[in-house]
Amino acid sequence: MPSPRRLRVVDRAADTGQPEASDTDAGGWEITVDERGHGRLEPSASDANPAPAGVKGDHVVLVGRVDEAGAGHTVEIVVDGWRFELSVEEAARAELLARATRNRDSVARSGPLEIRAIIPGRIAVIAVVPGDRVVTGDSLLVLEAMKMQNELRAPRDGTVGRLLVAPGHTVELGDVLLTLE
Amino acid sequence: MTTVAAGTRSGPTSLRKDERTPPFRRVLVANRGEIALRIVRACHDVGTEAVAVYSDADAGAAHVRAADDAVRIGPAPAAESYLRPQAIIDAALGSGCEAVHPGYGFLAERAEFARLVEDAGLRWVGPSADTIAAVGDKLAARRLATTARVPVVPGMVEPARIRPDALDDLVAVGREIGFPLLVKASAGGGGRGMRRVADPDELVRALSAGAAEAEAAFGDATVYLEREVRPARHVEVQLLGDASGSVVALGERDCSLQRRHQKLIEEAPAPGLDPEQRRELHEMAVRIGRAAGLVNAATAEFLLDPSGRFWFLEVNTRLQVEHGVTELVADVDIVVEQLYIAGGAELSPSLVAAAGMATEPTRHAIEVRLSAEDPSAAFAPAPARVGRWRMPAGPGVRVDTAVEAGDRIPPDYDPLIAKIMTVGPDRAAAIARMKRALDEVEITGIQTTLPFHRFVFRDATFIDAELSTDWVAEHWDGPGERRARRETARRAATALIESQEDAGATRPVSLRKDSTGLTSASTWRATGRRVATERWPR
């Protein structure tokens, strides 16, 4: 029987552009996953934990990558073709971390590096996709400004996390362009 | 005793319908992705060898592995690889090819490239360089259509002269056409190089800005004014011609479901046309093809206004992305026909027969374009590495794709990754099959346009064929649709982490990943199997 515990779940690609966090009781649901990642999510049959209101029946989802991240995990869940990358961590610990770093944009774990625009301009070329491994100096993207092509390079080794822009986007000074993990 | 070889005419049953030797010994496929693979397959189907070209991003790609030979043409950026005319011609000559098939996009409609290919002694699989040049100029195409007695979208057929002494005249022409109207670039196409002008006071500025953009984008500042036909349906006709002057219409397609002039869903035939309308449409398209001296495959595009009238828009002198739905309805292979026509053959008897039946189609086909785009973020490209990849199959389902599980979708190219097509005896059957096919799709690792397509095929206005080019903007709320699934995703993620930790690990279990990016952990498998057998006993 899953014990109800407070977990913080962060949707890293929320439509608002900011990661969206919510604290939840972990109890009330069960999931069974086969080797191919087919998951069936059902309310737990338990009188002590009635199914949360508004979410009925069982759901078929796809479970993709599950990676350890700090003291928690990132989990990829696909529902009806919608892809979610969720960070799951104990809420208490996540709160402590968030307070310590005082960063509203924190993904509640030791941080990915945010690569920001140092001049305003237009994204001309993106050379990487999420998941690519890069080394210091690798070209990440090209920002066009004042008729000049400004190439952004990786400041350290890492893995490309999230792309927040696409070719053709206009960006302001300080906008986060991508994250490096 | 004489033996009769199978497949010869003198046998009791001819085993081959159109008896033909291979059109070429070797063809260079000047493209990548799904269309390159599609062309390689057509070559192999008729005994022709295919040579692939690839950039560094495509070294292990499916189209390369399917070909008989492959030539590297440069690093990932298109401008340094697939858009380099000389690299492609050198690849063709160096590998013993006799012809070049350009596919769609890239250099497919560049008349200069077609000319370079022809000058190098290679056959160009497509309309001639002269036809591409003549008809690629949209104003010239409008004049051509007019001489062929085909109604064009009301507007100018000569360039707008943006001179201080001509401005009043331009505004007068604009008023005659009627506002809102469109400023269009003559060298543009496919929705590029267009500006909407609602206010006569904005016209002059829009013309200047439009001309500057056209110069920058196409190297040609020519612009003109055209009426905005709205709401409208986008209906196009597949044409094929040969050197003897025969031109046929193989059927029409409706491509109204678009977003910012990018097609998302196409179908054949166009729903709701009566046989007379269809016949007239095909005849108009054929007249344009004849007037252009069309050899090989092209598509004539029209707008269908609410009163049921067709207005000519433009001609695309190439194979189109959505050609497959016409193939499914007419039961022909357009790429094979292209190869034979390029080799000097006339239109095959089976093609001519299919064209003869195109005004009374007995099947309906639909295509959805699956792209690596986020339909909750204005369809922004979302290239990444594919995890799991499962495409539908079964009766009436055709999938054209070159992507496989574990592939990295490069950021350098168009994000189209698969075309899922269904065919059935009527539109309802094709829709039912598409619903079923979309349910079979399983993709992890990348966000795709799948949720958009699933939405469309459950929407009453689409099912009732109430189409227009405004449909997507009016019906699709991407962020809302995604938000509605978030709770389920969160529950699944928390339940997953819970079950893993409850399975006895005191710290997070080290999770193995296989090559598809899937995770397997022995604790999960045990838990999953145990619970699975409890819930679904055999």
What distance lies between CA B202 and its chain's CA centroid?
35
Lowest mean pLDDT among A44-48, B18-22, B209-213, B348-352: A44-48
Contact (CB, 8 A) for B535 and A32: yes
If pLDDT is split at 50, 70 and 90, which confidence band does A18 have? low
- Window 56-95 of B, Cβ < 8 Å to A: 76-77
User: Which listed residue (B38, B195, B318, B363) is catalytic?
Assistant: B318
Beta carbons of A32 and B532 less than 8 Å apart: yes
- Residues of chain A found within 8 Å of residue B531, distances taken between Cβ atoms: 30, 32
User: What confidence score (pLDDT) does residue B467 get?
Assistant: 87
Mean pLDDT (chain A, rounded):
81
Is B318 considered catalytic here? yes
pLDDT digits (tens, 9 = 90+) for B100-154: 999 999 999 999 999 999 999 999 999 999 999 999 999 999 999 999 999 999 9
Beta bridge partners of B205: none
- Residue B306 Rama label (left phi>0; alpha psi -120 to 50; beta): alpha
User: What confidence score (pLDDT) does residue B515 get?
Assistant: 35
List C-alpha distances in Å: B166 to B173, B202, B204: 11, 15, 10
As given in the structure block, the two tokens for residue B210 are 């439009």
- Element holding B368 (H helix, E strand): strand B364-371
pLDDT digits (tens, 9 = 90+) for B186-204: 988 767 888 999 999 999 9
Beta carbons of A79 and B441 less than 8 Å apart: no
Residue with tokens 């006339």: B346
Q: Establish if B535 touches chain A: CB-CB under 8 angstroms.
A: yes
- Window 134-153 of A, Cβ < 8 Å to B: none
Return the closest-CA partner of residue A26 out of B129, B498, B344, B393.
B498
Q: What is the dihedral of CA B186, B188, B191, B197, to 10 degrees?
A: -40
Closest-CA distance, B57 to chain A, in angstroms, reads: 11
Closest-CA distance, B438 to chain A, in angstroms, reads: 9
Beta carbons of A129 and B518 less than 8 Å apart: no
Return the closest-CA partner of residue A156 out of A97, A114, A110.
A114
As given in the structure block, the two tokens for residue B537 are 């006993």
Q: Exposed, middle or buried: residue B202 (CB in 10 Å: 0-12, 13-18, 19+)? A: middle
Question: To probe the interface with B, which of A66, A122, A128, A134 has the most B CB atoms within 10 Å?
Answer: A66
Closest-CA distance, A172 to chain B, in angstroms, reads: 18
Closest-CA distance, A103 to chain B, in angstroms, reads: 23
Return the closest-CA partner of residue A68 out of B286, B167, B519, B404.
B519
What distance lies between CA B256 and its chain's CA centroid?
13
User: What confidence score (pLDDT) does residue A28 get?
Assistant: 78
Q: What residue type is assigned to position B376 of the chain?
A: S
Contacts of A148 (CB under 8 A, 6+ apart): none
Q: At what angle do helices B138-147 and B275-291 cross, to 10 degrees?
A: 110
Contact (CB, 8 A) for B434 and B366: yes
pLDDT for B214 beyond 50: yes
Beta carbons of A37 and B502 less than 8 Å apart: no
Beta carbons of A66 and B383 less than 8 Å apart: no
Q: Establish if A15 touches chain B: CB-CB under 8 angstroms.
A: yes
Beta carbons of A76 and B444 less than 8 Å apart: yes
Q: What is the dihedral of CA A26, A30, A32, A33, to 10 degrees?
A: -30
Contacts of B504 (CB under 8 A, 6+ apart): B523
